[in-house]
Copies of this chain bind each other. A is one copy, B any other.
Amino acid sequence: MGEFTADKSHPRYESLLKRHNLEIAASRGMLADSALIAHGRGEAFDYLLGEKTSENAFLATKNALAHLSAAKRPIITINGNTAALAGKELMQIANYLNCPVEINIFYRTDDRISAMLKHLEDIKQEHGITTTILGESPDAKIPGLEGPRAKCCHEGIFSSDVILVPLEDGDRCEALVNMGKTVIVVDLNPLSRSAKMASITIVDEISRVADNMLKIIENEDNLEIDIGFINNHNLQQSLNIIASNYS
Q: A residues bordering B, Cβ < 8 Å? A: 19, 22-23, 26, 33-34, 36-45, 47-48, 189, 191, 239-240, 242-243, 246-247
Query: Which residues of chain B have C-beta atoms less than 8 A from A36's C-beta?
Result: 33, 36-37, 40
Q: Could you tell me if A189 and B33 are in contact, using CB atoms closer than 8 angstroms?
A: no
Q: Which of A26, A38, A240 has its CB near the most chain B CB atoms (within 10 A)?
A: A38
- What CA separation (Å) do A247 and B40 show in the bound complex? 23
CA A40 – CA B38 in complex, angstroms? 6
Most buried by B among A40, A47, A239: A40
Residue of B nearest to A38 (CB): B40
A-B residue pairs in contact (CB < 8 Å), sample of 5: A23-B33, A37-B37, A40-B40, A40-B42, A41-B47
Residue of B37, B239, B242, B246 touching A39 (CB-CB under 8 A): B37
Minimum CB–CB distance for A191 against chain B, Å: 8
Cα A90 to Cα B239 with chains together (Å):
36
User: How far is B22's CA from A201's CA once the two chains are assembled, in angstroms?
Assistant: 31
Min Cβ gap A50→B in Å is 12
Q: Which residues of B contact A19 (CB under 8 A)?
A: 33-34, 37
Query: Among the listed B34, B37, B44, which residue makes an inter-chain contact with A45, where contact means beta carbons less than 8 Å apart?
Result: B44
Which residues from B are CB-within-8-Å of A247? 239-240, 243, 247
Kindly list chain B residues whose C-beta atoms are within 8 Å of the C-beta of A242: 242, 246
Kindly state the separation between the CA atoms of A34 and B39 in the bound complex, as whole angstroms.
11
A23 surroundings in chain B (CB, below 8 A): 33
Cα(A210)–Cα(B40), bound, Å = 23
* Shortest distance from the beta carbon of A101 to any chain B beta carbon, whole Å: 26
Chain B residues closer than 8 Å to A47, beta-carbon distance:
41, 189
Chain B min CB distance to A95 (Å): 31
Q: Which residues of B contact A38 (CB under 8 A)?
A: 40
Nearest CB of chain B from residue A41's CB, rounded to whole Å: 4
Residue of B with least CB distance to A236: B247
- From the candidates B44, B243, B246, name the one contacting A40 in the complex (CB within 8 A): B44
Q: Does the CB pair A189–B44 fall under 8 Å?
A: yes
Ordered nearest first, which 5 A-B pairs have the shortest CB separation?
A: A40-B40, A44-B44, A36-B36, A37-B40, A243-B247
User: What's the Cα separation between A19 and B33 when bound, in Å?
Assistant: 9
Query: A27: nearest residue on chain B (CB-CB)?
Result: B33
Not counting A36-B40, A40-B42, A243-B246, a sample of 11 additional A-B residue pairs whose C-beta atoms are within 8 angstroms of each other reads: A19-B33, A19-B37, A26-B33, A36-B36, A40-B43, A41-B41, A41-B47, A47-B189, A191-B246, A239-B246, A246-B246
